[in-house]
Chain A
Amino acid sequence: MLARVLSLSALIAIWFVAAAVAHSRLLPGPLAVAGGLLADIRSGELPFELGCTLARVVAAFAIALVLGSIIGFLMGRSNRFNRYADPWLIILINLPALVTIIFAYMWIGLNETAAILAVALNKLPNMAVVMREGARALDPRLDDMASAFRLPVMTRIRHVLVPQLAPYLAAGARSGLSIIWKIVLVVELIGRPNGVGFVMGTAFSLFDMTKLLSYAISFIVIMLVIEHLVVQPLEQHAFRWRKQRA
């Protein structure tokens, strides 16, 4: 913790000195950026744009997670389905994010559906691959146990299936979140009238470095907050039984 604080303070100090020395519009100092940040928060602009981006992230993430998990699970359970679906997966995985985004905008139109679909489609194959591994790693002995004791379907799903898939779900979700955050910005830059990506595009054309930096910083802060307040506590709760292992 101390090391982190020190290292971050050093970064800010370097930034401070560099800005003072450069004395340029292209590198505003920490104080100027903080001032711009506060102003944007007060005016409500920053919360609104962040909110737009966040909503897109959540929607795309949910679609990719649910669909990717189901497809991956089925691929892991059925060799036949896997043989048919695998080539699609390989194509999707190797399709550059930018291509998916442009295709989606051109075919569906410059709208929210296209934006969210493009992002979800970028993450989905990755999620499917991870869940396929998870489905293949299911322990058939636990399945036998569940059948022998005639556990009801919902009990089986909740207490036998999901906990076995949880590590894969968590790994997929974690890597997915970081990818999706980044792709959403590109989607907004190219074809949305709001959101952090859109603001950055505008700031870029105006050479407004203060705005770029203040948005980038608030973006990073939000990601860290989500990681520490949502993702980590959830994981700790789901995997509490593991810590106990001697």
Chain B
Amino acid sequence: MNSTHSGGENNALELRIDRKTYVNADGVAVDVIRGLQLRLGAGEFGALIGPSGCGKTTVLRIVAGLDTAFDGECRWPGERRLGVVFQEPCLLPWRTVDDNIRLVLPPDRAKADLTDLIGTLGLASHRAHYPGELSLGLARRVAIARAFAINPDLLLLDEPFVSLDEAVAARLREELKALTGSRNVTTLMVTHDLDEAVQLADHLFFLSDRPARVVLEHRLTVARALRTDAFVRATTDELRAALSRLDR
């Protein structure tokens, strides 16, 4: 194994995974990622799109520094703050919504006023509730609030809106737009929803089946506020066409 995790420039994220293997149940090493590279500029919003089980969560875990057993290199300012929204909400059941969010605050923000953030995410009336009392949608919002509360420089989101009903997901996407738009945060979001990626991201990375690598990269230059439904439809059609040309 030869992995490095070191400081890069500004908030830019540079990732190169030459090889990542898992040992499966039969004791055989299986390549999950092979020759994957991506770069996100400071303040950019990137989306990782790929088939189910291709290794998206693995990529995020490597970027977050939770998995260092890989060949390659990951660079982003290590001393900067990291916020993660995991595929499952990962809240502490024994702490209230408020206390779950406060738990991760660094000492200099321990007394921060979270009213605005909690209000934006529609959690105002749930602050004193325990996670066991929340629906999945609400728990997801708490996880998003927690990641934002620390004022992250790098934000990682793992399919944050999956299995929510569309109305709730649409609202949360708007909230995510507002939150990321108002701060200088570099974001990497995993999704398998192309529409969602085109609505939110500046930079799309399409992954192949296992072993995963980036098969197509696309930059969106139109400002997020100007991405109409028609634009989203046209862009996703174009991208789907490009992807099917790759298959051939």
Binding site for B on A (CB under 8 A): 141-142, 144-145, 147-151, 155, 159-160, 163, 241-242, 244-246
Contact = CB atoms under 8 A, between A and B. Distances in A.
Quick one: which of A142, A148, A151, A159 has the most chain B CB within 10 A?
Answer: A148
Interface string B92-106: 111100000001100
9 contacts: A141-B86, A142-B92, A144-B61, A145-B90, A149-B104, A151-B104, A155-B103, A163-B94, A241-B94
B82 A149 contact: yes
A110 B94 CA distance: 46
Contacts of B64: 144, 147-148
Contacts of B61: 144
A244 B132 contact: yes
Contacts of B86: 141, 144-145, 148
A242 B132 contact: yes
A147 B94 contact: no
A241 B132 contact: yes
Given A141-B90, A145-B86, A246-B133, A159 B104 contact: no
A245 B82 contact: no
A155 B84 CA distance: 18
A156 to B, nearest CB: 10
Given A148-B82, A244-B132, A163 B88 contact: no
B65 interface: yes
A241 B94 CA distance: 5
B225 interface: no
Contacts of B65: 147-148
B133 A160 contact: no
B226 interface: no
Contacts of A155: 103
A217 to B, nearest CB: 39
Nearest to B128: A244
Contacts of B129: 244
B70 interface: no
Nearest to B106: A150
A245 B132 contact: yes
Contact of A148 (B84, B103, B132, B133): B84
B82 A150 contact: yes
Contacts of A246: 132-133
B66 A148 contact: yes
Given A141-B86, A144-B86, A241-B93, 16 more contacts: A141-B88, A142-B92, A144-B61, A144-B90, A145-B84, A147-B66, A148-B86, A149-B82, A149-B104, A149-B146, A151-B103, A242-B93, A244-B129, A244-B133, A245-B133, A246-B133
